[in-house]
């Protein structure tokens, strides 16, 4: 379930933001304007017959921009603005009911090449 979910998120982010690549679960050493998606946890909601109705999946998007904070922040904002409140997305083997950001883009620091890193945490309700 999570593999296809992450693949769909990667496709959505590449198609609708300025990210050049989206990886999972970690960033590679090279590349600017890239991100990675990491599942952080989740919960299942079951009905009375013990059948899963939906899952709440918590995930983070770690974004590495460039040395320029203005463009790096704009990239983070584009990811946040597109994914926050996204709803009704079908993918092979599942359905994203909605995605809600549980944090604004948070400055993480700089990597060894002085490229700026930001983190955004989301929760997706998935069926």
Angle in degrees, CA 24, 55, 35, rounded to 5: 20
Length of the chain in residues, anyone? 127
- Is pLDDT of 19 > 80? yes
Residue 35 in contact with residue 22, Cβ under 8 Å? yes
Q: What is the pLDDT of residue 22?
A: 98
Q: What is the pLDDT of residue 116?
A: 98
Report the chain's mean pLDDT, rounded to a whole number. Answer: 94
Angle in degrees, CA 34, 94, 102, rounded to 5: 50
pLDDT tens digits, 45-104: 877 677 768 889 999 999 999 999 999 999 999 999 999 999 999 999 899 999 999 999
Q: What is the pLDDT of residue 99?
A: 98
- The 10 Å Cβ neighbour count of residue 116 is 23
- Is pLDDT of 2 > 90? no
pTM over 0.85: yes
Query: Which structural domains are found in the chain, ordered by start?
Result: 2-126 (3.30.2000.10)
Residue 61 in contact with residue 12, Cβ under 8 Å? no
């Amino acid at each position: 379930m999570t593999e296809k979910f992450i693949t769909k998120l990667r496709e959505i982010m590449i198609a609708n933001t300025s990210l050049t690549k989206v990886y999972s679960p970690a960033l590679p050493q090279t590349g600017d304007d890239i991100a990675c998606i990491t599942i952080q946890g989740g919960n299942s909601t079951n009905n009375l017959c013990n059948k899963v109705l939906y899952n709440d999946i918590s995930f983070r998007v770690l974004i590495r921009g460039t040395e320029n904070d203005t463009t790096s922040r704009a990239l983070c904002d584009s990811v946040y603005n597109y994914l926050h409140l996204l709803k009704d997305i079908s993918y092979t083997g599942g359905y994203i009911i909605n995605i809600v950001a549980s944090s604004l883009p948070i400055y993480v620091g700089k990597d060894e090449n002085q490229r700026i890193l930001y983190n955004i945490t989301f929760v997706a309700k998935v069926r």
